[in-house]
């Protein structure tokens, strides 16, 4: 069974099913199409399927051309019908793993997807989970469900975990060039998983188990979260000392060894860094371990929006204005520059808290023309176009995301007060404030 599946993969005869057509799933779809596979894309959002059928993209930085070319050739289909999952030889799950309101892991998308495909699983398939989660998820949540109807993992069906490593908008790395970690429930599962991913990435990094692969992803993002917390805390210290933290970091980065630069901001964004460390802290409690260092980093990072608002209050107060009633423009709604990704964007929290304090808040973002629906937020605005006249109509401009498309010189010239959370401008007493 194992060798038959591997042979199908190596000959590009395997049918690939990708569940979740978002920031992670779509790049995988493209890679498998580019290697000559037939791909079925699954998503619960019918609007995504409709757009694909009409040759319309819906994520700015992703190239939809391979998909649009494959549709008339019969090599790609998009569907909401998970009942068709039995047609695929490989099923790759790329679904969200958010936190609940109590900051506990929400595996409902993973569990729901697995339970939806279980009745259609058959011998000779490989199932791979790519969603970031805590160590143990594959064995504790997926394997019992996959084996519920009598299929034996490692013999009849193959189960692997291979964490996504997408970095939206990064021009230096692609799905193909980023090494792919892969762990299997059994050695046979690992062998199938490696064979699958070797077809679409330049380097596969096998690890000993699905738990090790899950921990790799958590480590990567916890490392980033902790280091960002460090520079966020140092930013506050530097501000009290009238020092520019960005100047300090850039100078420190000239050291050719022993230092990796991380930069502060208005809060953490994206689907990984604000969420993943809390998956680990939750799981660690099961083993009686208190992850104090990680939790402290989380406290520092989640406090950043309030720090930014305090700097806005300080800036407005210097001009004899309160936040209530002031007109505040937020520059950048996406969580990072030059993309349209708004997942966990700190701009969401900043706008909500400013509105709650009575400010009149607008936003500008060339990549996000309209705030999309979000699970836990209800902001409904369209982006403003930045002009000299528009800028002079606001009491304060907050730099939340440093998109290259912004005309920073024009903004500096015409904005009456700037609060800069991204290090775009140098501080000017009474007009440009660091946050």
Q: Is the pLDDT of residue 99 over 90?
A: no
Highest CATH level, class, for 2-208? alpha beta
List, by residue number, the catalytic residues. Answer: 272
pLDDT of residue 158: 98
| Cα separation, 162 vs 119, whole angstroms | 23
Task: Tell me the H-state helices in 199-254.
Answer: 210-240, 245-252
- CATH 1.10.1040.10 domain residues, the chain: 216-302
Residues with Cβ < 8 Å from 401, sequence gap 6 or more? 331, 332, 333, 334, 335, 336, 337, 345, 347, 365, 422
CATH code linked to domain 216-302: 1.10.1040.10
Could you tell me the pLDDT band of residue 351, with boundaries at 50, 70 and 90? Answer: very high
How much is the average pLDDT of 152-162? 98
How much is the average pLDDT of 350-358? 96
C-alpha dihedral (381, 432, 413, 368), degrees to nearest 10: -20
Could you tell me the pLDDT band of residue 264, with boundaries at 50, 70 and 90? Answer: very high
- CATH 3.40.50.720 domain residues, the chain: 2-208, 306-435
pLDDT of residue 277: 86
pLDDT of residue 167: 86
86: which 2 tokens? 């039995």
Give yes or no for a contact between 398 and 376, defined as CB atoms under 8 angstroms apart. no
Q: Is the pLDDT of residue 305 over 90?
A: yes
Q: Is the pLDDT of residue 377 over 80?
A: no
How much is the average pLDDT of 91-97? 96
| Cα separation, 357 vs 351, whole angstroms | 10
Give yes or no for a contact between 347 and 364, defined as CB atoms under 8 angstroms apart. no
76: which 2 tokens? 């790609």
Nearest C-alpha neighbor of 331 from the set 222, 404, 431: 404
Q: Pick the residue with more confidence: 269 or 205?
A: 205
How much is the average pLDDT of 360-371? 96
**Percent of the chain's residues with pLDDT above 70:** 100
Nearest C-alpha neighbor of 91 from the set 1, 189, 164, 18: 18
Residues with Cβ < 8 Å from 391, sequence gap 6 or more? 329, 397, 410, 411, 414, 415, 416
Q: Is the pLDDT of residue 311 over 90?
A: yes
CATH code linked to domain 306-435: 3.40.50.720
Q: Is the pLDDT of residue 376 over 80?
A: no
- Strands annotated E in 247-391: 327-331, 360-364
Would you tell me how many other CB atoms lie within 10 Å of the CB of residue 111?
15
Would you tell me how many other CB atoms lie within 10 Å of the CB of residue 303?
15
- Please write the tens of the pLDDT for every residue from 109-119: 999 999 999 99
């Amino acid at each position: 069974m194992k060798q038959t599946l591997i042979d199908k993969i190596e000959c590009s005869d395997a049918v690939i099913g990708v569940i979740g057509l978002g920031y992670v799933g779509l790049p995988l779809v493209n890679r498998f199409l580019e290697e000559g596979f037939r791909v079925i894309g699954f998503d619960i959002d019918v609007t995504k399927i409709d757009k694909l059928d009409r040759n319309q993209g819906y994520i700015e930085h992703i190239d939809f051309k391979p998909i649009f070319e494959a549709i008339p050739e019969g090599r790609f289909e998009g569907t909401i019908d998970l009942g068709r999952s039995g047609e695929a030889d490989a099923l790759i799950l790329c679904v969200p793993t958010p936190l609940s309101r109590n900051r506990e892991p929400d595996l409902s998308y993973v569990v729901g997807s697995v339970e939806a495909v279980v009745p259609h699983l058959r011998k000779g398939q490989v199932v791979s989970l790519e969603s970031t989660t805590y160590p143990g998820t594959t064995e504790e949540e997926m394997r019992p469900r996959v084996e519920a109807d009598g299929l034996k993992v490692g013999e009849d069906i193959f189960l692997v975990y291979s964490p996504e490593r997408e970095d939206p908008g990064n021009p230096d790395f692609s799905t193909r060039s980023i090494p792919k970690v892969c762990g299997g429930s059994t050695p046979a599962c690992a062998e199938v998983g490696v064979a699958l991913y070797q077809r679409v990435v330049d380097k596969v990094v096998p690890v000993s188990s699905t738990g090790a692969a899950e921990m790799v992803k958590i480590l990567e993002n916890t490392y980033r979260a902790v280091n960002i917390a460090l520079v966020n805390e140092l930013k506050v210290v530097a501000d009290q000392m009238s020092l520019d933290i960005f100047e300090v970091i850039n100078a420190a980065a000239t050291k050719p060894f022993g230092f990796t630069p991380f930069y502060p901001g208005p809060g953490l964004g994206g689907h990984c860094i604000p969420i993943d460390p809390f998956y680990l802290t939750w799981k660690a409690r099961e083993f009686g371990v208190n992850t104090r260092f990680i939790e402290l980093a989380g406290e520092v990072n989640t406090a950043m929006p309030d720090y930014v608002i305090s700097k806005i209050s300080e800036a407005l107060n210097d001009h004899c204005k309160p936040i209530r009633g002031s007109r505040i423009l937020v520059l950048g709604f996406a969580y990072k520059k030059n993309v349209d990704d708004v997942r966990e964007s700190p701009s969401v929290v900043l706008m909500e808290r400013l509105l709650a304090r009575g400010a009149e808040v607008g936003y500008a973002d060339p990549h996000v023309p309209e705030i999309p629906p979000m699970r836990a937020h209800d902001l409904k605005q369209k982006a403003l176009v930045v002009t000299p006249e528009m800028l002079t109509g606001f009491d304060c401009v907050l730099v939340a995301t440093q998109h290259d498309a912004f005309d920073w010189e024009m903004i500096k010239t015409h904005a009456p007060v700037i609060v800069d959370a991204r290090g775009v401008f140098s501080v000017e007493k009474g007009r440009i404030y660091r946050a």
